């Protein structure tokens, strides 16, 4: 994924646009991208997170690259896929929490399977 960068001036406060996120002065968001040797399979941007699902070119393993927009915290996890009524779902599990990346959004499940968060793609 390539981030387009543009500077915007509004009310004397500089804003920077990275991909689809717009933030005030001093804060920038760049969507997660794949590592060298990986191919982008799916990219999702929501109000609070950005996710890239990447596939290693050598052996086909999948990887989840996620970033919380509020904190900038990044999580990289092994990922898998399954078919569902909404299309292919890519998912990663961390300490019992499941991150489900759909074609149209991101859902995070608690260890008990209840929905912790569900956001549509922007």
Q: Give 95-122 pLDDT, tens digit per residue.
A: 999 999 999 999 999 999 999 999 999 9
Check residue 27 and give its pLDDT: 55
Asked whether the beta carbons of 106 and 121 are under 8 A apart, the reply is yes
pLDDT at 93 over 90: yes
Asked whether the beta carbons of 55 and 39 are under 8 A apart, the reply is yes
Q: Are residues 55 and 92 in the same domain?
A: yes
Q: Are residues 25 and 40 in the same domain?
A: no
Altogether, the residues listed in the chain come to a count of 122
Q: Which domain holds residue 23?
A: 1-29
Q: Are residues 101 and 85 in the same domain?
A: yes
pLDDT, tens only, 30-73:
789 999 999 999 999 999 999 999 999 999 999 999 999 999 99
pTM: 0.75
| CA 50 distance to own-chain centroid | 3
Q: How many domains does the chain have?
A: 2
Closest CA to 34 of 46, 22, 42: 42
pLDDT at 28 over 80: no
């Amino acid at each position: 994924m390539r981030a387009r960068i543009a500077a915007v001036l509004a009310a004397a406060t500089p804003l920077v646009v990275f991909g689809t996120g717009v933030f005030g002065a001093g804060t920038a968001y760049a969507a997660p991208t794949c590592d060298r040797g990986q191919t982008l399979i799916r990219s999702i941007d929501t109000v609070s997170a950005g996710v890239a699902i990447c596939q290693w070119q050598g052996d086909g393993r999948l990887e989840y690259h996620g970033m919380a927009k509020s904190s900038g915290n990044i999580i990289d996890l092994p990922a898998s896929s399954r078919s569902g009524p909404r299309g292919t779902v890519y998912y990663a599990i961390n300490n019992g929490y499941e991150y489900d990346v759909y074609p149209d959004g991101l859902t995070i499940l608690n260890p008990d399977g209840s929905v912790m968060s569900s956001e549509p793609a922007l």
